Each structure stands twice: as structure tokens, then as C-alpha cells.
Chains A and B, each alone.
Chain A
Amino acid sequence: MMTDTLKPRDGKDVESAVQGALAEGKSLEIAGHGSKRAIGRPAQTDLTLDLSALTGVTLYEPEELVLTARAGTPIAEIEALVASKGQQLAFEPMDYGALLGGWPGAGTVGGALAANLSGPRRIKAGAARDHFLGLTAVSGRGETFKSGGRVVKNVTGYDLCKLIAGSWGTLAAMTELTIKTLPGPETEATVAIVGLDDAAAAQAMIAAMGSSCDVSGAAHLPAAVAASLPLAHAAGGGRALTLLRLEGVAPSVAHRQAALVARVKPFGEVVTIAEASSVPLWQAVRDVLPFAASRAGAEAPLWRVSTAPTQGAALARMVTNATGASCLFDWAGGLIWISVPDARDDAAAPAVRRAVAACGGHATLIRAPAALRAAVEPFEPQDTVLAALTKRVKEGFDPKGVFNTGRMWAGV
């Protein structure tokens, strides 16, 4: 594998690397720590463009709510820095380490944005894309360009940050990013309902989200899933657990906790979980620990499905009835992690795609053996108009297909 990796030291190097690749007709795989490398179609590239040497926070002004960092800066380092000022990345970026069998805490800020990471707080605070203020990047034309700025409110020109967020390195190599930081909550608590089936849980979460309680996390762990998390097991005695998180200043959390308990009591037995257990429990939900590689199998197929919250339970039922899969619900039922028994040779793709077609939304095959990810489209197939538009966007930024081409769809 010698000489297969280019490790630029700065933005200028990145530009030279891309120009070099263009001149030699070579393709590049953009990587930070490579922690999410196993997601997507297995694409053939000639060289790896390793951005992990582009590190360092170049600006952090907590009172302006902004932070600028080079793309290879570890996300863990950034989270620690903002935490030292009582702030957080409100999009609560999940850590794919456990799911993909990597080590926890890996990943760069560039990777977090390229994958548009989010977490349970997505329902209240948005995803990475909602906190992405500015970028400098090198496109597949070997040109450095920038978009956005370092202020939290800006509509000058197209919002290319949004486009690059979630593009999985197929459009440009980011070299520097500016993101929004926000105050972290003073405290948190969780209200949990015990023993609900998926459909009842969906109703309870809808009721909670429709209240003024400002719920910042709403997840449902069916019994078998809850049983696999010691904290959830302790709270629910091995039964299903529907979790509702409250964050904020102490008097507010206390007040909302009382209101929320009253609101969800009609659904079943209610328990409350104090901060000390609530924090790690939500981290486990965020990182989908019940389906961790160490538990489910390093290559056991795992789907991530985004749908309307009211459709979650029905969609999950369609898939589980057909395949015996198990599910974890986040985002008030709108995000479903579906773990498929690993014996299957099609990752249950037909069942998942059928359910998504019936219920709306989209599904991504997050974990599966490379051969399966080549055989089954990991990203949701697009209709012809959207696929053509997507391809034209790709060609605008990367006409020669130097970057991660084929990772999302053939040619993209």
C-alpha cells in the first residue's frame, strides 16, 4: 500500500494533489480518519487523499457562536474545546465507531460535515448542515473556492455549505470549515414510559412533541433492544422503553418534567431518569449501541431509515414481519435503525425499499459486507429527473470524477 496515500499539509497541498490527480488521470478517495469509510458503495480509487494532517482550530469566539477549524481536526477535540466554554455542537454528531467496529472518538470535523451527522437532538436543533456557516474547499477542478462566512446569519450567494454537507466527499475536498456553536444545557432529565409496543410508543412520542415541553430527544427501544443496554434495562426492568429528554436550566427542566409526566401518564407506567444516567443513555441511543458491531456482528446489515414520525411504526412492522429484523426508533419515530439478521444475502433490501416506497422517506444501508454494498444500492435510488440533476451537480464540481466517484450512486 506504499505510495497510495497523499497526506497534504495545508490547503495549497490539497490543491496541488487534486491538480496532480487530474493531470495523471487518477482518482482520489477523500478521507479524514477513515472512520466512515465503510459506508456507501465500495468505489475503486487510485489514491487516498488523507486530510488528517490539516488540523487546528483557527478561530473560536464563544460569544459570537462561531468556530473555524481545519478539516482534519478531530471532532472529539472540538467537542472538548467548546465544552470547556460551556458550549456544544447542538447537532449532537453521532459517533459511527461502535456501529462500524472502529474505535470511539475517531472522526474529523470535515468527515462529520461531509456525512451530515446528527443525533437525537436533530428534532429540535437540526443536523450538521444547519450549523455549517462557511467553508474553503478544493473542487474536482483543482480549484480552491469558498462559500458562506463566519457569521451566523448570511444569505449571500448560494449556500454551498448545505450542498457539501452530506455529499460524502463526492464534490469537493474541504480544507477549512466554520460551524456554529451553541450554549450547552445546564442540566437534563429523561421521562420514560415503560412497556409500550411500537405503535403506542409512536403515539406517546407524538403527544410529547406536540406539547410545550420542548422535548430534545424522543426515542423508543423495543424490549429486546432495551434489554441490551444496562441503563435501559435498569430503568425498565427488561421491558420496552420510550425515552423523552428534557434539557435546559434546572428550574425549567423540573417544571417541564412534571408537565410531561402528566401528559404521558395515560400511555403507561412512567419513570424518570436523572442527569447522571440520562447523559450516557442518550449517548448510547445516539451511537446506536444496541446494534454495535461487537454485538450484532461486524458486517451484520444495518439500515438507517428516515421517514415521517407517524409512519415509523408501520414502516418498521413491514420490514420486521418480512425479515425478523429488529429496530431502534429515534427522532420521535422518524429515524429507524433496522438491524437485519446477518444470514440474509440481500440485506433485506427489497423489504426495506418496499416499506419506504409505501410509507415515504429514504433508506441507507449503513453497514454490510462490501460485496453486498456493491450488489445492493446503499443509498436510496432516485427517480430519473432527480438522478439526472444530481449527476449534473456532480459534474459541475467534479467533471472528471476524481473524488469518491461512485460512492453514492454509479457516477456520483
Chain B
Amino acid sequence: MSSAGHYLSWLALRVLPFIGLIFLWDAAARAFDVPVLFPTPLATWDKAVQLVGEGQLQSDIAISLWRIGVGFAVGCVLGTVLGLMMGLSRPVADILGPFVHTLRFIGPIAWISAVMIWFGLGETSKIVLIVYTTTFVVLVSAMIGVMTIHPNKLRAARVFGARGWRLFLYVTFPATLPHILSGARLAMMNSFMTIIAAEMVAAREGLGFLIFNSRQWMEVDAIFVGMIALGLLGLMADMLMVLLTGLLFRRFRPLSP
């Protein structure tokens, strides 16, 4: 009984606020009283069904996720490699440091114009921006991870004869991994923000394009569909990352939910 009660209260805690929010939205939309400008939840649902029926929503989601996936993967590798190198080598940190610490304040959105001119409207420009935004977040996490390894972990390893590559493989990298993983989780969120901005300015498909383009026809319901899809996809991506890192890297005690 207590476990069933537990489950019910857990369910209530997760579901009730959500239902409450939808009612609140509905009330606000009715009060606003211009359905075209502020559609109700039901109208938004109808629009979602219509967009799915036309195949539009799925294809926009697919293209956006593909861009994020490729850019995120490349950025994670690049950020990890560069961050580890900067954390491990003082000269590398001295050389790259000023660039990294300047560039990470020039956000991906500031780069959109230049990237469009260089790479055009094709896939490359969007993926480059995702790579860029992911790289710096992961890089800084990895670098801090290396630099904050407790010296006694490294000293112990040296006592036991670990040098060079073995020291890196058996101590430095595993000790840094939790930082890299939490950096990647943050970078995933940044990727979602970046892809929308990029697709709004420089794309003919994708969720960002859907949201931006619907403005021209005053299709606020389609804008809502795009935004909600974005939020749900982000939530799912985050949950997937927590799940995967929990399965693959459990012993490194990575992310908390």
C-alpha cells in the first residue's frame, strides 16, 4: 500500500503541475480572446496534428536533430582533446588560453553572419556553429577537470610507477571524465539554443525555420508547436544523456538528474 501510495504521489507531483499549466494557458488564451494571436492548447494540438499529417513537423525535427547530433559529437571530441591538452601542458595553455577565453565570449549567434557568408545556406554552416558552441563548453570543463585533479592522485600513481601514457590513461583521463560529461550535458543545451538561432537566420527547414517562418503568416499556433517540440526534444535528449552516462560511466559517478 505504501509503495502504491508512493507511486501515486510521485505521479501527482509530476503530472498535476503540468495539467495545471495547460489550464492556465487555456484561461489566458480565452482572456486574450484573439485566437489567431494567442491560440488555446486545443488549437495548438490541432495544428500539431495537422503539421504531423503533412509530414512537416517530423522532417523539421529530423533535420534539426541531425544537425545537433553531428555538431555535438564533433564538438565533444574537439573540446575534450583541446581541453585535455590545455590542462596537461602549460605551454599549450599559454598559447591557446587567450584565444579560448576571448572566443568563448563571442557566442555562436555572433558568428552566424560570417559563417553564412563563408559556408552558405547548406548544412555546413549550421553544423559549424554547433561544433563551435559545443567545443568551448566541453573544452573549459575538461581543462578545469585536469587542473583540479588532487595532486595526491597523481603522486600515488607516480609512486606505483605510472608515467606518460599510462598515467594519462589510468588516472588523468578517468579523473577528468565526470567534468567532461557534465560539460557535454551543458553543451547539449547550448546546441539546442544555437540551432534555433541559426535556422531562423539561415535555413529553409528545421524547427528554427518553422518557428521563424510561421511569423510571416501569423501562425502563432505553429510557433507554439515548434517551441513545445523543442522543449520536449531537449528534455528527451537530456534524459537520454543521463541514462547513457549512467549506464556506460556509472563508476565515474557522473551526472545527477
A and B interact: no
**Which B residues contact A (CB, under 8 angstroms)?**
none
